[in-house]
Amino acid sequence: MDNMENVDNVENEVVTKEAPLPGSASQEEIRAYYSPLRYGWGAFCAFFGFSTKTHRASKKRAKLVLDIATYIILLLGTFIMIYPFWWMLAGSFADTLGSGSTDLFYQMVWWPSKSTTQGQSGDLFYNYSQVLANCFEPPASGIPEGYSYWRAVLNNLIYSIVPVVVGVITSASAAFAFSKIEWYGRNFVFFFLLAAVMVPGPSVMITQYVMYDTMGWRQNGLALIIPGLFGSIMTAFFIRQFLFGLPTSIVEAAKIDGAGYFRIFCQFILPLAMPAIMAQGLLSFMGCWNNYMGSYIMIDDQTAWINLPHAMYIVQNQLGENQGPVIAASVLCVLPVMILFACFQKLIINSLMLTGSKE
């Protein structure tokens, strides 16, 4: 594109060699052909980057106009993508307790502000204090004994750190075996695992439920921990793709120096594949943090092992019209993931891009 610009025009210009009129053209046709209106329209179009028969628009101008249009479209899209989050944040400060005080809740809010009839406390952070102090306490209907908001956060952290950290390492070890070690049955095992991706989760949901129920994992939260420890196939495939990009000579050299495979894995592969491992780990962390369905189906809701989204669902059912604390809880649920994503966005996006280009 860049070297094209050197050859091509950089300024709008009038086309001098237009297709000639046929000799039989009448006087009106010739007048219309050279009319100032036609040329004016051409100049107008060229100003906005569109070439016509009379004027050729400059490449630079065309690019500029297209860039502006692109920015407008993308900014509009950004507004659509971001505004619900902004509304969530602003709406979480609204007062929804008093009757007729929900005006702020049902408006295009641009800035968090106190509602006019600030119900009970006059506190801007009333909804948040409700979430942290009252809403998740056991007396509320449906919430199990021994539960609180901080217990929900703790559960969420357990469910999303333990299986993810262990699972990513087991996935990485499998990926190492698939990419850098020659062993009997490697291809068979690979396709055996690949085929498992095709099995839809809901189809085996029943037997998984029965398994966890029988082993008592529904009552102590292990149902959301143990399966994750074994690693995930898609994670292993992704890290495998990444490891294919590393030179095998590293492994060979380490082997000649007398290092065993375990040592090679710990000291070479794990550090070298750290970007891929981190990205996959972060993505699974986010997935586990938001895992409503897993907790709803697999965890006994009479125990204190339900996770945060599940508890939010129970709480909002009994809050009824008072949706302010629900939105505040939503903000608190989204915030950690957002912060994490903001910190590691480059890593995550690049890893996703790699997935896309490898397909």
Residue list 182-221, contact with other proteins (CB under 8 A): 182-186, 189, 192-193, 196, 198-211, 213-215
Compare residues 212 and 305 and give the one whose CB is closer to other proteins: 212
**302 binding other proteins? (CB under 8 A):** no
Compare residues 39 and 290 and give the one whose CB is closer to other proteins: 290
What number of chain residues touch other proteins (CB under 8 A)?
A: 100
DSSP codes joined into one string, 223-268: GGTHHHHT--HHHHHHHHHHHHTS-THHHHHHHHTT--HHHHIIII
CB–CB of 163/228 below 8 Å? yes
Which residues 279-298 are close enough to bind other proteins by CB under 8 A? 286, 289-290, 292-293, 296-297
Hey, how many other C-beta atoms are within 10 angstroms of the C-beta on 257? Answer: 9
Compare residues 229 and 272 and give the one whose CB is closer to other proteins: 229
With CA atoms as reference, report the closest residue to 312 among 147, 119, 93.
147
DSSP codes joined into one string, 154-172: HHHHHHHHHHHHHHHHHHH
**345 binding other proteins? (CB under 8 A):** yes
Compare residues 39 and 344 and give the one whose CB is closer to other proteins: 344
Amino acid at 128: Y
Candidate ranges 83-91, 131-139, 141-149, 272-280; the one touching other proteins (CB under 8 A): 83-91
Quick check: helix, strand or coil at residue 325? Answer: helix
**343 binding other proteins? (CB under 8 A):** no
Quick check: helix, strand or coil at residue 184? Answer: coil
* Minimum CB distance to other proteins, residue 222 (Å): 13
Which residues 11-70 are close enough to bind other proteins by CB under 8 A? 66-67, 70
Candidate ranges 31-39, 119-127, 135-143, 319-327; the one touching other proteins (CB under 8 A): 319-327
Amino acid at 249: S
* Minimum CB distance to other proteins, residue 267 (Å): 8
Candidate ranges 121-129, 146-154, 244-252, 259-267; the one touching other proteins (CB under 8 A): 259-267
Pair of tokens at residue 166 = 């262990």
Compare residues 78 and 116 and give the one whose CB is closer to other proteins: 78
CB–CB of 355/238 below 8 Å? yes
**164 binding other proteins? (CB under 8 A):** no
* Minimum CB distance to other proteins, residue 37 (Å): 26
* Minimum CB distance to other proteins, residue 330 (Å): 3
Candidate ranges 18-26, 36-44, 72-80, 270-278; the one touching other proteins (CB under 8 A): 72-80
Q: Give the CA radius of gyration of the chain.
A: 31
Which residues 229-258 are close enough to bind other proteins by CB under 8 A? 229-231, 233, 236, 258
On the 0-12 / 13-18 / 19+ scale of CB atoms within 10 A, 241 is middle
Compare residues 236 and 277 and give the one whose CB is closer to other proteins: 236
**337 binding other proteins? (CB under 8 A):** yes
On the 0-12 / 13-18 / 19+ scale of CB atoms within 10 A, 189 is middle
CB–CB of 64/76 below 8 Å? no
Locate tokens 């333990």: which residue? 162
